[in-house]
Amino acid sequence: MVTSAHEGLHRIFQERPEILTPVFAVLGIELPQKATVAVLTPDVTETKPLERRVDTVMRIGPSDGDDFLLAIESQTARKPDKESSWPYYVAYLQSKYRLPVLLLVVCQDPSTAKWATGPFDCGTRGWTTQRTSPLVAGPHNLPVITDQRTAAAKPGLAAIAAVAHANSPDSDAILEALGRALQGIDGEAADYFNEFLEVNLGKTPAGDNWRRIMSFVSYYPGQGTVRETAYLEGKSEGKVEGKVEGEAESVLLVLEERDIPVPDAARERILTCTEPDVLNLWLRRAVRAQSIDDVFADDVELGGD
């Protein structure tokens, strides 16, 4: 799994290569659904101590044509040295593998995307020896996906587009749609995209919103969601303690989001509760409660204090 925002924006193509086809479609390049994908070493270091490393390198075997290499770079800001290192990557990979090379740069802001498009020329006196024109995916061309069904059908594209549009006015709607879409897809895939968003959005307003959304939809009980299933499986394996802590925090998070005051005694009561059924009940009540008293109403029936 990715460990940083920079890593996430290129590693997602390694770990979820199925998103290559919709991303290429956005860029105006046809790539069939059926294609072999092999991740190659990103090392382009010469024998002398000058280390150069591409973020991600993949060999693509499309069903309708010859193989080619795809070099992917994650770029969060303009870096002039890339104007010379990118052409080097392309030339080196073409020479090493004897295959055509495409360079894809994934950006998170329009100004960086505009710069990354190039072209970057090497030449003088009116003659161009080499021209490098990267493909660029970013907020200028990745789709704004606010429809839950579309997000569920193309979760990889929706995830990377959500990162690209993290600073746009549509960010909240994009994340809401994706959060609900993840509840209906395969558990492993849902976990991957959830973590991808959490890492890449980081400690930003969009990241805070994503954690709020996932805390709410992930623990909404009785709906057969991916997270609820994981919770029940964890419970059966004796892993209730960590799940209970997560549920207690979810109750407090919902109350905080709804601006309902939580006295210290009530907070302590929620955090020390060890009964999953009681916490589930409190969470349902927190969604509609007008005060903390509404959350604790009639708890005697479930063994509450």
- Please list the rounded mean pLDDT of every run of 10 residues in the chain (305 residues): 64 82 84 77 62 81 89 89 92 93 91 93 86 93 91 90 89 90 82 85 86 65 48 48 67 82 90 84 83 77 39
Q: Give the integer Cα–Cα distance in Å for 69 and 110.
A: 26
Q: For residues 8 and 2, what is the distance between their CA atoms, to the nearest angstrom?
A: 5
Distances (CA, A) of 303 to 29, 278, 290: 61, 8, 23
Nearest to 165 by CA among 181, 142, 187: 142
Q: Is 0.85 topped by the overall pTM?
A: no
Q: What's the pLDDT score for residue 239?
A: 45
Measure CA 37 to chain center: 21
What's residue 245's pLDDT? 66
One-letter identity of residue 123: G
Q: In this structure, are residues 249 and 215 in contact, taking their beta carbons and an 8 Å threshold?
A: yes
Task: Please report the domains of the chain, with CATH numbers, ordered by start residue.
Answer: 5-137 (3.40.1350), 148-302 (no CATH)
Half-sphere exposure at residue 160, Cβ-oriented, CA atoms within 13 angstroms = 30
Alpha helices in 237-275 (DSSP H): 240-257, 264-272
Task: State residue 119's pLDDT score.
Answer: 94
**Structure confidence at residue 219 (pLDDT):** 43
What pairing do the DSSP bridges indicate for beta strands 35-40 and 68-75? unpaired
Task: Render the burial of 230-268: b for 16+ CB within 10 Å, e for the rest.
Answer: bbeebeeeeebeebbebbbebbbbbbeeeebebeeebee
Q: Encoding tokens for residue 18? A: 């199925």
Secondary structure of residue 126 in the 3-state scheme: coil
Count the helices and strands in the chain (H runs, E runs). Answer: 14, 7
Angle subtended at Cα 150 by Cα 29 and Cα 168, rounded to the nearest 5 degrees: 80
For residue 165, which amino acid is it? Answer: H
